[in-house]
Amino acid sequence: MVRRLFIAGNWKMNTSSSRAVELAEQVAGALAYVDNIDLAVFPPFVYLSQVAEVLKGTALAVGAQDCFYEDNGAFTGEISTAMLKDVGCSYVIIGHSERRHVIGEADELINRKVLKAVGDGLKPILCVGELLEQRQADETDEVVSRQVKIGLEGLGKADVLNVTIAYEPVWAIGTGETATPEQAQQAHAMIRQLLGELYGGSVAQSVRIQYGGSVKPDNAAELLACPDIDGALVGGASLKVTDFAGIVAGGR
């Protein structure tokens, strides 16, 4: 089964209005030649409209870094899936490690957001990954399995096909320390096996699993060459056009 690669840039809490527009223009220009890889960028909420406008008609999709599970009402500070679609988003990142470990989001909340996003036609990227101490205690499989199982609970087979899983070991995010291709492949294979147990082999073979955590132009090719790594969720390097383009080139 050949899964199309999916390379996404998570800008996190970076850029400004003018920089977001400039970066989107530069990325679209640099990647205009790409036709065999799915591409998306995830700017901060407040710049989504502007970036979506710049990327209209290009090969780059736009997504948000989070969403809420209610439609509207008294939820100060939250953003609904309808609002995200209204400003041109097709994807949404849910359960990023910074939301889990800095903001304190739990698996059950993440699951409600995943169900809402899929139900409303947004394609979620569900992020999972272990802390350094969990890896050292040999708990990686247990932690990641729990995050995947609870994150996807209540989704049927057809719905799961709209989800991308991002395996992002927390110790590799923003640290410059990348998982080795072997470590990443092992975790991805474990996730795919779990998807097979939950949804059957053919669904498991179709769901894309991205790797995230210090992906750079010089390590992208060997990570993306692994059989169960179907793309990358790029943080820091997505803020530099040459780096992001270099990572995409590693996937060709």
- In the bound state, the residue with its beta carbon closest to ligand 13P is 235
Distance CA 140, CA 150 (A): 16
Nearer to ligand 13P, 122 or 125 (CB): 125
Distance CA 158, CA 57 (A): 28
Q: Under 8 Å CB-to-CB from 33, ≥6 apart: which residues? A: none
Distance CA 62, CA 84 (A): 10
Nearer to ligand 13P, 199 or 211 (CB): 211
DSSP 188-206: HHHHHHHHHHHH-HHHHHH
Nearer to ligand 13P, 55 or 127 (CB): 127
10 binds ligand 13P (CB under 6 A): yes
> Which residues from 208-237 bind ligand 13P, rule CB under 6 A?
212-215, 233-237
Q: Where are the beta strands (DSSP E) in the chain?
A: 5-10, 37-42, 60-64, 91-94, 123-128, 164-167, 209-212, 231-234
Smallest gap from residue 244 Cβ to ligand 13P (A): 10
Smallest gap from residue 134 Cβ to ligand 13P (A): 17
**Contact predicate 225/231, CB 8 Å:** no
Q: Active site residue: 98, 105, 130, 168, which one?
A: 168
Which positions from 79 to 118 touch ligand 13P by CB under 6 A, shown as an x/- string?
-----------------x----------------------
Q: How far is CA 237 from CA 33, 71, 89, 124, in A?
A: 20, 34, 22, 21
Smallest gap from residue 162 Cβ to ligand 13P (A): 19
HSE at residue 226, side-chain half, CA atoms within 13 A, is 24
# residues near ligand 13P by CB under 6 A: 14
Nearer to ligand 13P, 43 or 236 (CB): 236
Which positions from 133 to 172 touch ligand 13P by CB under 6 A, shown as an x/- string?
-----------------------------------x----
Distance CA 235, CA 216 (A): 9
Is 168 tagged catalytic?
yes
Catalytic residues: 96, 168
**Contact footprint for ligand 13P (CB under 6 A):** 10, 96, 168, 173-174, 212-215, 233-237
